[in-house]
Structure 1
């Protein structure tokens, strides 16, 4: 018997996102996200209980402002002392790792899924998942978009509104669309 669509997604092969098993997993994520986003802040604490249980790994002192959205949750790992401001979205069709001490501004989006370039294949729901790795002590400004397959090195800064399509070296500041290193004058 061949691999399931979930297995194909997990190993970075083309898969059909219209699969019933994947739809069921997205439904679980929507329920956890709904709980997180609608609980009173005092009751929720840093992260809603269902969302915390859904994630692959959540360290101590993680704070995720509401509203928040994720596709699956099960592919997200968050290190200690991480802060996600309001409106962050993580479409985690592949592993997303956020290192210790990171700060993500409001409306930061991380997109792991890449849809097929052929319109007929897109209609069939074919996509491929690419992981995102964010090192320690990274600051990502509000409205930035991080695309799948990107690694952001320790201590890097991503300027507000940047669209990150390629790896960012440790200690580098990137800005713009597509994001490029800021050069001091």
Structure 2
């Protein structure tokens, strides 16, 4: 039987309050808080946060905080991507 995360990733109906998915969203929220509140400028610390939040993206991206997403790991970006202020990516 598939996990709720596997169902989500394959585009099937899934239970979003599943423990694993809730933990993943909470991790993303904590990283987003660091990016959007603590750092707020694109510097070395912000880039380290983005590496953890967006592991499937190229390292040469630029995001103007605040930025919002559900999980982060579902986002795939190529090189030289720019997200302007208040970008929201629903990556469920």
TM-score range, shorter chain: 0.7 to 0.9
> What is the CA-CA distance between 1:44 and the residue it aligns to?
4.8
What runs of 5+ residues in structure 2 fail to find an aligned partner?
A: none
Which residue of structure 1 aligns with residue 23 of structure 2?
24
| Aligned CA distance change for structure 1 residues 14 and 42 (closer, same or farther; 3 Å) | closer
User: Deviation string for 1:61-82 (max 9, x for gaps)?
Assistant: 3100000000000101111111
Q: Which has the higher helix share?
A: 2
Equivalent runs, 1:1-185 vs 2, <5 Å: 2-38=1-37, 39-41=39-41, 43-44=43-44, 47-93=46-92
- Kept in 2, the 8 Å contact 1:56–1:74? The answer is yes
Moved over 6 A (4+): none
> What is the CA-CA distance between 1:21 and the residue it aligns to?
1.0
Q: Distance in 1 between matches of 2:49 and 2:40?
A: 14
With structure 1 as the length reference, what TM-score do the two structures score? 0.45
| Aligned CA distance change for structure 1 residues 22 and 90 (closer, same or farther; 3 Å) | same
| Alignment RMSD | 1.8
Q: Distance in 2 between matches of 1:42 and 1:85?
A: 12
| Aligned CA distance change for structure 1 residues 40 and 8 (closer, same or farther; 3 Å) | closer
